[in-house]
Amino acid sequence: MKQLITSLLFSSALLGVTSGQAQQVMTVDVSNPVAAIQPTMYGVFFEDINFGADGGLYAELVKNRSFEFPQPFVGWVPFGNVTMKDENPCFERNPHYVRIVNDGRRLRAGIDNEGYRGIGLKAGESYRFSAYVRTSAAKPMKLSVELVDSDGKNPLRKELEVSGSEWTKLTAVLKSPFTDAHSRLRVVLLTEGEVDMDHISLFPVNTWEQRENGLRADLVQALYDLNPGVFRFPGGCIIEGNTLATRYQWKNSVGPVENRPLNENRWNYTFTHKAFPDYFQSLGLGFFEYFQLCEDIGAEPLPVVSCGLSCQYESNEVVPLDELQPYVQDVLDLIEFANGPATSTWGKVRADMGHPEPFNLKMIGVGNEQWDKVYVERLEVFVKAIREKYPDIKIIGSSGPNADGDKFDYLWPEMKRIGVDLVDEHYYMAPEWFQKNAARYDTYDRKGPKVFAGEYAAHDYSTGKDNNWLAALSEAAFMTGLERNADVVHLATYAPLFAHVDAWQWNPDMIWFDNLRMMRTPTYYVQQLYGMNAGTDVLNLRMDGKPVAGQDSLYATAATDSRTGEVILKLVNTGSKAADVQINFQGLKKKQLAQGICIYMQSDDLKQKNTLEAENLRPQVTQVQPADGQSLRILLPARYFGVYRLPLTAKGK
Ligand code: AHR
């Protein structure tokens, strides 16, 4: 069982009912489910934005470990005789390395790494240092590897020896004597002579699943706790690149990590008011690590690939149709990397990385936020090639960057004509939009492609787009409409996922972190409540004969969970007054509703948010007793989101 249920305390109070309000009556027909809810329905969208990968989920603590940033000493403070070299390198695709020369004077040659806005170290935790080294000296050279705290003290100093003129890997485990979010890693050459060093790396030993080249355990735990059905990767605009040269090229992200070439991060200089010239992609968290993570957390992988267009907002470079083939081949090869036998070209790469079994990839997105004929023409080429070779793979096309408008109106009919399986919709809108659009999908064509709500978030502009309760509550309200229309909406992923508190480009985001801690926002908990309580089949829920999509600030959906035999209600009150709601269950036949639980979030303060120091808003659990086994009367508090899980039992039990 995931963390939500195990960690929450049961509130002693039952939800009370007072009289005096006009009663709202809802009916739920239990006998006749109206649509299946896809197991993939609620998922996550990952992009290396806000230092989400390097400096975030990817647990490497050293920035620019391979010295391949355009200014190769970025992230490093060299002292003494330290020079950048590339002759006879250790890694052909990452040729730079440093030569450290000690002329005999004490402490006069070495390098310091600043990490990602510091290196987060915890007292008593072990860290795996590694580097590739060689020396021209005849005798062994001594290095001191040091953990330096933010006051400049270096209580941990470990001596290591380097010998031989061939590149070899040096490793050591260092136990940190202190806790500090802004530490540094220092390497000092102690003996007279010279040493070459490359790929200088420091990872916590305690990564997720204790993997070397692993992921930050606390951040993966947060993903796991969402119970995500699908995992979109690697973006976002990152897929497209600012230019075609900097698009995400998956083949660069697999194989030995030391030889994966650096890529400029799309978010490096996108916003002039928020420039991050030290933001690059090591691709250490690449497609193998991604597929493995999906497997770990039980989510279906959903890679999105370049369609031969760089970001249409930026350089807008277009690959001519007669030069598109390598891009198409990249996609076919990616599917082979995921699913091909270990004897196939790309299946072997996967197997050599430690996963001979296929990853069982079922769907793929072509293009991110693309638009116009230039996209449609290219998409058609991809669809034809993928359908020919992999007819079972579901293909996702784009409806552009907006929730409506010219681009959207042009693209949807084109997606139908091309016959993609799903259409990716994006909406970053005000909380009011989310509240007003809970019925958005009630009228969608049931016969066309399905919907992937691939990026969405409520942006409360009045607070500088805080991750506050208003945003989360509005998303909860809107999501009742996703669930009610589960026959049309098959996937939904909030965006973006992660943000480093000291290095972010975009807000709001679902999970914030610093170098030591992590914070789940109210939005996170809304997503978790949906992800953990999706149910398997939608039930017909009506108020005055209509879906509940904002009347009197109320929103509601109902589902059954055929695996557990429960009815699951999701009720939202965005209004400022409590609502007295009577829910009558129909079609129970020989069944009745038994005592269950309600997991809820409530705050009268719409501006309330969580911080790294204080989790002010998180779900609480209480018990619920349907009075007569076939109805429920609830006083829905103002500004409230509640999930009710009620077991269906045989009458009289
Ligand atoms: O989620 C942040 C960005 O928003 C994505 O990269 C892009 O697809 C959208 O514009």
Q: Which residues pair with 571 in a beta bridge?
A: 556, 642
Tell me the per-residue pLDDT of 156-167, one tens digit each, with 9 for 90 and over: 999 999 999 999
User: Rounded to the nearest whole angstrom, what is the distance from the C-alpha of residue 192 to the centroid of ligand 1?
Assistant: 51
Spatial contact of 570 and 645, defined as CB atoms under 8 Å apart: no
Tell me the per-residue pLDDT of 421-472, one tens digit each, with 9 for 90 and over: 999 999 999 999 999 999 999 999 999 999 999 999 999 999 999 999 999 9
User: Rounded to the nearest whole angstrom, what is the distance from the C-alpha of residue 501 to the centroid of ligand 1?
Assistant: 19
Q: What 3-state class would DSSP assign to 94?
A: coil
User: Rounded to the nearest whole angstrom, what is the distance from the C-alpha of residue 237 to the centroid of ligand 1?
Assistant: 6
User: Rounded to the nearest whole angstrom, what is the distance from the C-alpha of residue 217 to the centroid of ligand 1?
Assistant: 25
Q: Whose CA is nearest to atom 7 of ligand 1?
A: 236
Q: Which residues pair with 300 in a beta bridge?
A: 230
Quote the percentage of the chain above a pLDDT of 70: 96
Round to whole Å and give the CA distance between 129 and 204: 9
CB-count exposure of residue 32 (10 Å: 0-12, 13-18, 19+): exposed
Q: Ligand 1: residues within 6 Å at CB?
A: 47, 49, 235-237, 368-369, 401, 455, 495-496, 506
Round to whole Å and give the CA distance between 241 and 219: 26
Cα-Cα end-to-end distance for the chain: 27
Return the closest-CA partner of residue 110 out of 147, 76, 87: 76
What atom of ligand 1 comes closest to residue 237's alpha carbon? 6
Spatial contact of 576 and 639, defined as CB atoms under 8 Å apart: yes
Q: Which residues pair with 305 in a beta bridge?
A: 366
Q: Which residues pair with 48 in a beta bridge?
A: none
| Phi and psi at residue 479, to the nearest 5° | -70, -20
Where does residue 332 fall: left (phi above 0), alpha (psi -120 to 50 degrees), or beta otherwise?
alpha
Residue 244 structure tokens: 């075609």
| Apex 511 CA angle, 507 and 517, nearest 5 | 120
Spatial contact of 459 and 471, defined as CB atoms under 8 Å apart: yes
Q: Whose CA is nearest to atom 6 of ligand 1?
A: 236
Residue 331 structure tokens: 């996609």
- Which of 258, 369, 475, 483 is labelled catalytic? 369
Q: Whose CA is nearest to atom 1 of ligand 1?
A: 496
What atom of ligand 1 comes closest to residue 428's alpha carbon? 4
Residue 91 structure tokens: 């890694």
Would the pLDDT of 5 be above 80?
no
What number is the average pLDDT over the span 261-279? Answer: 92
Residue 68 structure tokens: 């391949």
What is the pLDDT confidence band of residue 228, given thresholds at 50, 70 and 90?
A: very high
Strand 42-45 to 518-520 pairing? unpaired
Probe residue for ligand 1, chosen from 240, 309, 506, 523 as the CB with the greatest number of ligand atoms within 8 Å: 506
| Exposure on the CB side of residue 5, measured as CA atoms within 13 A | 10
Round to whole Å and give the CA distance between 194 and 191: 8
Its pTM stands at 0.96
Q: Which residues contact 120 (CB under 8 A, 6 or more apart)?
A: 61, 180, 181, 182, 183, 514, 515, 516
What is the pLDDT confidence band of residue 273, given thresholds at 50, 70 and 90?
A: confident
What number is the average pLDDT over the span 162-179? Answer: 98
What is the pLDDT confidence band of residue 21, given thresholds at 50, 70 and 90?
A: low
Would the pLDDT of 301 be above 70?
yes
User: Rounded to the nearest whole angstrom, what is the distance from the C-alpha of residue 236 to the centroid of ligand 1?
Assistant: 5
258 is catalytic: no
What atom of ligand 1 comes closest to residue 238's alpha carbon? 6
